[in-house]
Amino acid sequence: MPTTSEDPSTSTAPDLTLLRVQVSDPRVRPLLDELRAEYSSRYGGDAAEELGRYPDEEFTPGHGGLLILLLQDGEAVAGGAFRRYDARTAELKRIWTHSAHRRRGLARRVLAELEREAEQAGYRRIFLTTGPRQPEARGLYLTTGYTPLFDTEADPERLGPLPFEKHLPPRVPTGKALDL
């Protein structure tokens, strides 16, 4: 069974290709390994339990999805996933950019594509959490239209996981003209 879906419409820039993949795709491993090391350095301990919390099938079509951005040489430089949270809500997980490729807007690209994929899957709301020691992620979500579901003035360390939500635009039925 193929592990990728390569569609020319998923190209995000001349030097980057966006792919839908499964967790088992070998190109995902380096990103997850670095994410594990980053979580462990920020929070202590081994982040393997956190990264293994959800079965891989929760990130497959019908339940969710996993996307990666590749350079022309095939190196995975960013990625992210979503899973079913409830009937109308997708939960974003593991949005990550390799440390050597940060500050280029790659996480923002992945985030926008995950939102598009979730919307196409029928979800109307996005939910996510980020950790209190991840100010970069907090900033990303605040600047891309996510509503914090916590007191932004409170000490993040006291709050623990920081939840956000974003409501997706209503779906326009295909084949019908819009009255403007």
Of 62 and 117, which is predicted with more confidence? Answer: 117
> For residue 75, is it within any domain?
yes
Lowest mean pLDDT segment, chosen from 81-85, 145-149, 171-175: 171-175
User: 132 in helix, strand or coil?
Assistant: coil
Residue 7: the pLDDT is: 40
Of 11 and 155, which is predicted with more confidence? Answer: 155
Q: Which residues of 66-77 are buried (b: 16+ CB within 10 A; e: fewer)?
A: bbbbbeeeeebb
> For residue 70, is it within any domain?
yes
> For residue 53, is it within any domain?
yes
> For residue 30, is it within any domain?
yes
Cβ neighbours of residue 17 closer than 8 Å, sequence gap 6 or more:
6, 10, 11, 69, 70, 72
Alpha-helical segments (H) within the chain: 29-43, 48-51, 106-120, 135-143, 156-159
Contact 81, 118 (CB under 8 A): no
Residue 10: the pLDDT is: 43
Cβ neighbours of residue 24 closer than 8 Å, sequence gap 6 or more:
3, 56
Residue 11: the pLDDT is: 41
> For residue 179, is it within any domain?
no
Q: What is the mean pLDDT of residues 146-174?
A: 91
Q: What is the mean pLDDT of residues 146-165?
A: 95
> For residue 16, is it within any domain?
yes
> For residue 159, is it within any domain?
yes
Residue 47: the pLDDT is: 82
Cβ neighbours of residue 77 closer than 8 Å, sequence gap 6 or more:
16, 69, 70, 71, 97, 98, 100, 101, 106
**Model confidence band, residue 27 (pLDDT cutoffs 50, 70, 90):** very high
Give whole-number Cα distances, 27 to 37, 41, 45, 53, 71, in Å. Answer: 17, 23, 25, 20, 11
Looking at residue 80, which CATH number applies to its domain? 3.40.630.30
Q: Which domain holds residue 28?
A: 4-167
Q: What is the mean pLDDT of residues 74-92?
A: 96
> For residue 177, is it within any domain?
no
Residue 63: the pLDDT is: 87
Structural domains counted in the chain: 1
